[in-house]
Amino acid sequence: MQAKTIEKTIIYDFMMPWLGSGLVVSTGAKWTQRRKVITPTFHFKILEDFLIIMNHQTDVLIEKLTAHVGGPDFDIYEHVTYCALDIISESAMGVKLNTQHNPHTEYVEAVKELSDIMFKRMFSLGREYKWVFRFQKASRRQDELVKVVHDFAHRVISERKKQLQDERERQLTDQKLEEMDVYGKRRMTLLDLLLNVTIDGKPLSDTDIREEVDTFMFAGHDTTTSCISFACYHLSRNPAIQQKVYEEIQEIVGPDAARIELTNSTLQDLRYLDLVIKETLRINPSVPIFGRRSAGDMTIDGVPVPKGMEFGVLIYALHNDPELYPEPERFDPERFSEEAQAARPPYSYIPFSVGARNCIGQRYAMLEIKTMLVKVLANYRLLPCEDQNRLLIKTDMTLKPVNGAFVKIVNRH
Ligand code: HEM
């Protein structure tokens, strides 16, 4: 392929009412500056702080799941969604949403409904005629929901600003400005980072900051939720693979794996779990498609692609191509052994996209996915659901189960 730069397509415009020109949507110089200032959020030191949140919220999840031990099929997707929302809201904004205890808050409901409206617009027949949407009921509903999420983010930003200001006035050192909290450790959030950066000598405006906080709330929970829930589903149906992961957890994390706080270095050592996650993101990629617009004339495999042409990159189709992955519907982590990977062409696996616009949150995502899977598997054995509850998938903004990702659980100990 002979490529020039590529840009994002019209479908991203539909995210603008909610996300403004946050990182997922923005292009050009704005994107370059934002990506530069946000990248440090994923520095390994800050990720370690996020891991504390992940451990704590996953312990809440484990507690919530006890209600299903020995019981009939249940939808694990719903539980994981609430856990992931609690994790991202605390890492991005420093706010404890407590969705796992109280799932039906106005903010959480608004986030869910907004994703739904945006998705329906992207794939509607009248997509190109944006003005038509203004006359539809969904447009008024979208305005109401956007107001709920924006007001929430603005409130959080101004409270945090005031808190930092008060502390500065009390002449605390920079280090003391970082919060002591229930986990007994200081933590940095995306919001703190954004409140402290400058671009061309100027701080970001509240709107700039809100756009990025909203972007992380949007990109940072459904994606990981779908991977974690689908992994649980596949493991429940493949007992030998599940057993192998369990044995690895016992060996690397130790016999207290069900209770102890997981560290970054332990999680990095779980090599077989890595293969399981890779295979889950192959068979059910959380982001099944993304769009691009060609920014210059180019040729792909001998086919001329003129400037301005819009196209979709079908991750789902690529990952389920039988020529690259024989029997693509079979769940087989060994497809990601070093030898098997080396035998495939370089871009045959792109769950986090590739190039400059790849997923900025992928290391964060892997930590969260591993934390939840290790704790779930160390505490419970997953059993397959009944046939009538077998997984059916649909695509929304992310890949989702139609009715749920059903499993049964029994205690390990
Ligand atoms: C399994 C989990 C995840 C998968 C599979 C995934 C996948 C992707 C993909 C395919 C893209 C490119 C989308 C496009 O160009 O339209 C992307 C972009 C992005 N992701 Fe993720 N993502 C995951 C988790 C996360 C998390 C946890 C965060 C935040 C904490 C995040 C934040 C972002 C952002 C901000 C972008 C836009 C980056 C840019 O354009 O510079 N993602 N992700």
Whether residue 290 is contained in a domain is answered as: yes
Distance from Cα 411 to the centre of ligand 1, integer Å: 34
Whether residue 250 is contained in a domain is answered as: yes
Whether residue 192 is contained in a domain is answered as: yes
pLDDT computed for residue 184 by the predictor:
44
Task: Identify which of 15, 223, 224, 277 to mutate to test ligand 1's pocket (most ligand atoms within 8 A of the CB).
Answer: 223
Whether residue 46 is contained in a domain is answered as: yes
pLDDT computed for residue 44 by the predictor:
81
For residue 408, give the H/E element and its range: strand 406-411
Tell the burial category of 377 from Cβ atoms under 10 Å away from its Cβ (0-12, 13-18, 19+). buried
In a structure prediction context, what are the per-residue pLDDT tens digits for the chain, which is 413 residues long? 444 455 666 667 778 888 988 898 888 888 999 999 899 888 888 899 999 999 999 999 999 999 999 999 999 999 999 999 999 999 998 889 999 999 988 998 998 888 888 877 777 666 666 677 777 788 899 999 999 999 999 999 998 888 878 877 775 555 554 544 444 444 678 898 899 888 888 889 999 999 999 999 989 999 999 999 999 999 999 999 999 999 999 999 999 999 999 999 999 999 999 999 999 999 999 999 998 888 889 898 899 989 988 888 999 999 999 999 999 999 999 999 999 999 999 999 999 999 999 999 999 999 999 999 999 999 999 999 999 999 999 987 799 999 999 999 999 98
Are 130 and 13 spatial neighbours (Cβ–Cβ below 8 Å)?
yes
Q: Which residue lies with its CA nearest to atom 9 of ligand 1?
A: 352
Total structural domains within the chain: 1
Whether residue 292 is contained in a domain is answered as: yes
Task: Identify which of 359, 360, 367, 373 to mutate to test ligand 1's pocket (most ligand atoms within 8 A of the CB).
Answer: 359
Distance CA 373, CA 273 (A): 9
For residue 384, give the H/E element and its range: strand 380-384
pLDDT computed for residue 128 by the predictor:
62
Please tell me whether 359 is known to bind a ligand. yes
For residue 395, give the H/E element and its range: strand 393-395
pLDDT computed for residue 173 by the predictor:
55
Q: What is the ipTM of this complex?
A: 0.99
Are 153 and 93 spatial neighbours (Cβ–Cβ below 8 Å)?
yes
pLDDT computed for residue 291 by the predictor:
87
Q: Which residue lies with its CA nearest to atom 13 of ligand 1?
A: 290
Whether residue 268 is contained in a domain is answered as: yes
Distance CA 16, CA 9 (A): 12
Distance from Cα 135 to the centre of ligand 1, integer Å: 32
Which ligand 1 atom is at minimum distance from the Cα of 91?
30
pLDDT computed for residue 336 by the predictor:
98
Which CATH number fits the domain that encloses residue 162?
1.10.630.10
Pocket, ligand 1, Cβ cutoff 6 A? 23-24, 35, 215-216, 219-220, 223-224, 227, 281, 286-287, 290, 351-353, 357, 359-361, 364-365
Distance from Cα 176 to the centre of ligand 1, integer Å: 32
Distance CA 64, CA 98 (A): 13
How far the first Cα of the chain sits from its last, in Å, is 54
Whether residue 1 is contained in a domain is answered as: no
Report CA torsion sign: 393, 100, 90, 30: positive
Q: Which of 113, 37, 361, 45 is nearest to 215 (CA)?
A: 361
Whether residue 85 is contained in a domain is answered as: yes
Give the β-pairing of 298-300 and 303-305.
Answer: antiparallel
Strands (E), 211-347: 289-294, 298-300, 303-305, 310-314
Which ligand 1 atom is at minimum distance from the Cα of 226?
1
Range of the domain at 204: 6-179+186-411
